Amino acid sequence: MRNFDKRNHFDKRNKKLTYLIKLAFEPGLWFVLFMPVCTILLAQKPVASSWLTAQIFNRLQLAVEGTPDKALLYGAILYAVLIFGLDIAQWLLATASALIENHWRERVNEKLQKMFMQKDYKGNVADHDNPDLVSRRNAAKNVDPVGILKSVISFISTLSASVSFLILLWGFSPVMVFVAVLIKLPTFYFYDKTMKMNRKFKIDSGTLNREKDYFYRIPVSKPNAKEYKIFSMKGYVCDKYDEVMSRYMPFYKSYFTKMAMNNSVLMHYDRIVTIAAEIVIGISVFTGKMLFGEYTLFVAAFNNLAKSVEQIVDFASQFKDLQEQSGLLREYLESRNLYEDGEGCAREVGNVPHVIELADVSFTYPGTDREVLHGLNMTLAAGKTYGLVGLNGSGKSTLVNLLLRLYEPDQGEIRLDGVNIREYNICSYYKAIACVFQNTGKYAMPIKDYVASGRQRDLPRAMAALSQVRLTDWCSGLKHGLDTMLTREFSSEDDSVEPSIGQWQKLSIARAIYKDAPIMILDEPSASLDVDSENEIFHYIRSLAIQKTAILISHRLSNVVDCDHIFVLQEGRLAEEGSHQDLIELGGVYSSLFESQAKYYKTSGAVG
Amino acid sequence: MRRKLSHNDTIPIREAVPLFFSSLKRICQINRKYVLFSFLYSICGIIPVLLNAFAVSVFNQRIIKGLGEYAHYWQAYYPLLVTFAIMVIYGIWGSVSVYFDEKYRNKITSYLLRDSSSKAAAIDLASFDDPEFFNLIQKGWSEDGAMLVDNANVTLETIMDVTGFIGYVSLLSYIDWKVTLVFIALRVCLYPVNNWIYRLGYRLNNRLAEERRREQCFRNFFSTKGNVAEGRVFDLFDYAQDNYQASHRKIYKATFLHKIKTNSVDLLAYALRSLPLAVGYIYFSICVYKGTVSLANMAMYVALYDGFINQVYNAINGLSSIRGYAERSRYAREFQTIKPGIHTEEDPLKDKVPDLSEGHTVEFRDVSFRYPGTEKNVLEKVSFVVRGNETVSIIGANGAGKTTLICLLMRLYDPTEGTILLDGKDLRDYSAESLYGMFGVLFQDYCNYAVSARESITLSTEAVREPITLSTEAAREDRLAYALKASTADKFVGMLKNGIDTPLARDFDPDGAELSVGQKQRIALARAYYKKAQVLILDEPSASIDPQAEAEIYEAVHQQRGKKGIWLITHRLSSCVQSDQILLFQDGKLIGNGTHSQLFNGNAEYKRMFLLQAQKYGVTQCGI
């Protein structure tokens, strides 16, 4: 059994924040250099304006208490003008920096989103089965790297402001510098507690939060609304919502009560420090040792330094969390895949009639311990149509997954033209395969993009594919024809259409036909199709089979009757194989299944 | 029912204010205590701020005068201590208020969410087909809950701002009322600018809403297993990434331009905002110099300036934000006032559907139907009669109107023309709730819920609200066992980790089970069987299940023959052989109606379709 934890999923490296910072550098070096410079400059603004204000007060007090001197007044006015100038300069710098930051942030975000897309796409489908990995991925996606970088930058800004205030305050009294720094250190305890409480609440209530949203969202979609009415689900849903709320509220209550207490302690402590500083410093003015302007500057410097220390403390309490968050991001983005992605392989799928062989293939889904396929041996020759039949859960879709290289067999190998499929370049391999999936994705894109799967759009070919599945009339009935958007997700009713389930199925068949690959896999392509569409589509598939290898899965055994060869799977083993005629004559599983479906058509004869 | 909704621009103030107050009223109706409590807190909010400013000013004044006038330093600083004491008391009140605020807010929100959730369920299904209306439902529904509370908060904040404004003005006017007046005037000038910026932002958001959803969609394109598989085989990565990037850049460009535009206007606003400070400094410097204003008062003015300017700004902006919230409550309001054509609430004036063991007579009389907002009739003059507990099969090509027909039968829609009679009376004369109670349905787009198998099957209210006694409990278990067996779901439910109590999704519980498509369908089928329904409707029950399960399901359906009315939509004509009546549809018209042998002999289309499928099972001679 292959297990998830057997592989070394993540490299543990320590420098987690540097990873993020490296990421931040990518849109351009000058952004990142510009940001701290701006921040440091902006951080000096309070220092400068406190100093300017103090100058005004000093001059005025001298003028009031001493002899009135016009020069003092003009000096005060000049500083007032400077304050205005400083304000405007600060605004300009702040705006410019905000715009640039915005630009940089969007670039980083875009880059990151693309990395996520890449990872989602290249990562193993198997990872979706592992709840642990899924939650890791979700956690990584919830990380806000730009937010983290911003708090790093604001930390730099606080630090630089505190240095300026420190120098300023040192001029008045070195003792007060120590007081300002030391007095705020105890707040670390409260900030740290807040952090922990936040994190704990997030963990404790995460699932409950989603659950509570889930229940009240139920009636807001059409299929749900139908069932809601017919099964009169209101009472149930409301009760369920109340029940989830009653589990959620105790967490929430204790969380916000504690938070309110914590915040109130921090707030009052801050006030005590401010008032104490005013009283202690004020005595110098009271005794006439200091000018009022100097006093305002002194108090401002003390308060600001203390505040900066508090912010630094706050940052320090968050630092671990930031590290952890960027760690999550890095771990996810750099995690290794379960299977090699085969992009480096140079071997191309040759342009020959393809032969697929399964040699002794066994498979267990990663993270589970039930073997789904047991030593399967099959050979599929070129240009033939193969039927794959079996009850639900017999391993048909798993086999398709293995053929599509979404998973790899634990034992044995799958060979294409005599070579293990793992050795082919993945892109070249996928070029050779077209597939109709059982649950086709419902994408919001124009019809032509869907059919041509976004590749260079050959419209006549797309039309031809659509006509094979009898959708021509439907398409030409639409106002925008092939340009019509599928689903009404983004568009108004005029240029979009919501296909029925049967129509989606036809569209996905058309897409496979358009791809025109030498190997074609059809997994329940006709579950929701009407009689004539089904008939025509299978007729078409049979006509294709001359040049292609086709694998057909269907519960309607009438559809596989004409296949060249039929494989009957039973609980992961090949129970029977052969042509329809052979299997009927064999009188085994296949023939009894076939009989159970044919029965009604036969008994109908007796009706007349 | 169809109204033209155009929400591309902001609404005028005269419409905004009543909207705003109506939503406030709703909150008062839900919880008066909350509103009262928060109101008191907001009104008092300004007192400590002003008191503090005043105390600091007195302190400053006294230290400047210094020893010359006061004997003890204590005389200078005791006002500070007094205010501190007051602030502590107020702070404690604040904490208590936060507690109540959170508590009530959560209560109100959850009440509203429940309310709007059931409101959404009561809306006509037809409304869901009209994208514009659907948009309204989604917006209104999501805004409704969260918004009303925000709305109340905005009101309280505005009250706080206005009282604060009055407080500041009185304190500052005490120092110099002329300058205060000038400052207010300067700030008021900014209102149109703010308004313009706000409207610009509103329009931008409206314009980008769709693009944002598109960006989101492509960004998360490969977040499901199915999409990754398809994406790889059909090479969709570049397509998705290009689309994401295009959307992202488009949004970015638009917002960037918007920022440049508003920022340049904002410079003016900013200048107007910081100019008074400089002017104030100069003006007061002169005053102090002349001796008309004390230095401490000037210090107070300067200290209060920022708070004051913000307060003026907020008080003016209160109007804007009221408007902004009215903007949002417009959706909520419209959503609240949607009048469903089909009332799901119990209506004592209307008849209840009687429980008839011999079955009901259903008659469609010239029924036509088209979906709202479309031109084409999905059903065209359809007439037929079904008597007693007949088994009816509905067949026809994709898009022929089969699913629509059963929706009409259940009165999820009302016919555009013609009438549907149940026991000789119009469907519309029955109460919708009792009508819904009559049917057990497996929809083609059936839903699965992230709850346990048991709950997923038994979730109808009728079952939840039934008093639990020993006998009902036992009866329920029997019914559940029957439903499981009839739907053949018992085959796999028993094998789940916790049996019937296993959650059917891993959303909230890691021990949940992921079912296959066929299994999910059988759970939905069990739900239809569990309900004490008089009529069973199955829309393609065997689309994705294997032949063995299919045979078992049809077996179970046929066991109900004669006991219940059965309506079956199917593409497998073998399953309608035993039906009492087959309805064959083509392009919305009923082109064949009768038993299998009647149709086989008299309807060329039916015969052709039947033989097409039968041939593949090697049945060429049907003995007709």
Per-residue pLDDT of A373-428, as tens digits, reads: 999 999 998 888 899 988 877 888 889 889 988 888 989 999 998 888 888 888 88
Please tell me which of the candidates A80, A99, A445 has its beta carbon nearest to residue B281.
Answer: A80
Write down the pLDDT at residue B383.
93
Write down the pLDDT at residue B365.
93
Judge contact between A233 and B122, C-beta under 8 A: no
Write down the pLDDT at residue A605.
52
Distance from CA of A577 to the nearest CA of B (A): 18
Give the range with max mean pLDDT: A45-49, A318-322, A411-415, B25-29: A411-415
Polymer length of chain A: 608
Residues 167-206 of B with CB under 8 A from A: none
CB distance B266–A95 less than 8 Å? Answer: yes
> What string of DSSP letters covers B524-543?
HHHHHHHS--SEEEEESTTT
Of chain B, the end-to-end C-alpha distance in Å amounts to: 51
- C-alpha of B552 from chain center: 40
CB distance A598–B617 less than 8 Å? Answer: yes
Distance from CA of B267 to the nearest CA of A (A): 8
**H or E element in which residue A500 lies:** none
CA–CA separation, B339 and A265 (whole Å)? 51
Please tell me which of the candidates B102, B278, B439 has its beta carbon nearest to residue A84.
Answer: B278
A375-406: burial string, b at 16+ Cβ within 10 Å, e else: ebebebeeebbbbbbbbbbbbbbbbbbbbbbb
Bridge-based pairing state of the strands B391-396 and A385-389 = unpaired
Cβ neighbours, 10 Å, residue B139: 18
Comparing A118-127, A248-257, A301-310, B10-19, the range with the smallest average pLDDT is B10-19
**H or E element in which residue A487 lies:** none
CA–CA separation, B60 and B77 (whole Å)? 9
Residues of B in contact with A90 (CB under 8 A): none
Chain A contact for B540 (CB, 8 A cutoff): yes
Please tell me which of the candidates B214, B407, B609 has its beta carbon nearest to residue A490.
Answer: B214
CATH superfamily label, A356-440+519-529+548-603:
P-loop containing nucleotide triphosphate hydrolases (3.40.50.300)
Please tell me which of the candidates B289, B550, B616 has its beta carbon nearest to residue A60.
Answer: B289
- For A217, the token pair is 């969202």
* Residue A334 dihedral angles phi and psi, to the nearest 5°: -100, 5
Please tell me which of the candidates B76, B228, B518 has its beta carbon nearest to residue A121.
Answer: B228
Judge contact between A195 and A328, C-beta under 8 A: no
* Residue B416 dihedral angles phi and psi, to the nearest 5°: -70, -40
- The predicted-structure confidence for A535-572, as pLDDT tens digits, reads as follows 888 887 777 767 788 898 888 888 888 888 999 998 88
- Where in chain B is CATH 1.20.1560.10? 13-336
Write down the pLDDT at residue A492.
59
Residue B169's alpha-carbon distances to B45, B53, B162, in angstroms, are: 15, 13, 10
For an interface test with B, which of A566, A604, A607 has the most B Cβ atoms less than 10 Å from its Cβ?
A604
For an interface test with B, which of A110, A120, A132 has the most B Cβ atoms less than 10 Å from its Cβ?
A120
CA–CA separation, A559 and A529 (whole Å)? 12
Q: What's the mean pLDDT when you consider all of chain A?
A: 82
- For B469, the token pair is 């006694």
For an interface test with A, which of B616, B620, B622, B624 has the most A Cβ atoms less than 10 Å from its Cβ?
B616
CA–CA separation, B384 and B366 (whole Å)? 9
CA–CA separation, B284 and A76 (whole Å)? 10
Please tell me which of the candidates A73, A217, A283 has its beta carbon nearest to residue B73.
Answer: A283
Q: Is the dihedral of CA B404, B408, B409, B411 positive or negative?
A: positive
Write down the pLDDT at residue B364.
93
Judge contact between A88 and A95, C-beta under 8 A: no
Residues ≥6 apart with Cβ < 8 Å to A50: A168, A296, A297, A300, A301, A304
Chains A, B: CB contacts within 8 A come to 467
CA–CA separation, A487 and B210 (whole Å)? 13
Residues of chain B with pLDDT under 70: 1-13, 16, 20, 23, 113, 117, 121, 129-152, 319-325, 327-329, 332, 343-348, 373, 461-470, 506-507, 544, 619-624
Q: Collapse the DSSP code of A298 into the 3-class scheme (helix H, G, I; strand E, B; otherwise coil) and give the result.
A: helix
Residues of B in contact with A253 (CB under 8 A): 102-103
- For A593, the token pair is 């299944």
CA–CA separation, A35 and A160 (whole Å)? 13
Of chain A, the end-to-end C-alpha distance in Å amounts to: 57
> What string of DSSP letters covers B277-301?
HHHHHHHHHHHHHHTSS-HHHHHHH
Q: What is the ipTM of this complex?
A: 0.78
CA–CA separation, B421 and B624 (whole Å)? 35
CA–CA separation, A146 and A131 (whole Å)? 27
Write down the pLDDT at residue B392.
92
- For A247, the token pair is 């589990």
Residues 583-622 of B with CB under 8 A from A: 596-597, 600-601, 609-610, 612-614, 616-619, 621-622
Judge contact between B400 and B587, C-beta under 8 A: yes
Distance from CA of B163 to the nearest CA of A (A): 23
Write down the pLDDT at residue A362.
93
CA–CA separation, B457 and B394 (whole Å)? 26
Q: Where are the domains of chain A?
A: 12-334, 356-440+519-529+548-603
Distance from CA of A417 to the nearest CA of B (A): 19
> What string of DSSP letters covers B469-490?
-HHHHHHHHHHHHHHHHHTTTH
Give the count of alpha carbons within 13 A of A597, CB side only: 28
Q: Collapse the DSSP code of A383 into the 3-class scheme (helix H, G, I; strand E, B; otherwise coil) and give the result.
A: coil
CB distance A604–B577 less than 8 Å? Answer: yes
Q: Is the dihedral of CA A194, A199, A202, A205 positive or negative?
A: negative
Write down the pLDDT at residue B500.
84
Residue A466's alpha-carbon distances to A171, A240, A437, A471, A515, in angstroms, are: 83, 46, 17, 5, 12
Q: Is the dihedral of CA A201, A205, A207, A209 positive or negative?
A: negative
Residues ≥6 apart with Cβ < 8 Å to B73: A282, A283, A286
Residues of B in contact with A500 (CB under 8 A): 398-399, 403
The domain B362-616: what is its CATH number? Answer: 3.40.50.300
Closest residue by Cα to residue B464 from A158, A142, A243, A457: A243
pLDDT band at A8 (very low <50, low <70, confident <90, very high): very low
Comparing A218-227, A271-280, A407-416, the range with the smallest average pLDDT is A218-227
Q: Which residue has the higher pLDDT, A317 or A1?
A: A317
Judge contact between A143 and A19, C-beta under 8 A: no
Judge contact between A121 and B219, C-beta under 8 A: no
Judge contact between B221 and B296, C-beta under 8 A: no
CB distance A503–B76 less than 8 Å? Answer: no
* Residue B586 dihedral angles phi and psi, to the nearest 5°: -145, 120
Judge contact between B332 and B140, C-beta under 8 A: yes
- The predicted-structure confidence for A419-460, as pLDDT tens digits, reads as follows 888 888 888 888 888 888 877 777 888 888 888 877 677 888
- Torsion angle of alpha carbons A39, A44, A45, A50, nearest 10°? 160
Distance from CA of B14 to the nearest CA of A (A): 30
Closest residue by Cα to residue A462 from A502, A430, A510: A510
Bridge-based pairing state of the strands B535-539 and B439-442 = parallel
- The predicted-structure confidence for A60-95, as pLDDT tens digits, reads as follows 888 887 777 888 888 888 998 998 899 888 888 888
Report the CATH fold assignment for A12-334: ABC transporter transmembrane region fold (1.20.1560)
Please tell me which of the candidates B73, B237, B548 has its beta carbon nearest to residue A391.
Answer: B548
- C-alpha of A341 from chain center: 21
- CATH architecture of structural domain B13-336: Up-down Bundle (1.20)
Among all residues of chain B, which has the CA nearest to that of A217?
B117
Write down the pLDDT at residue A209.
78
CB distance A84–B275 less than 8 Å? Answer: yes
CB distance B616–A219 less than 8 Å? Answer: no
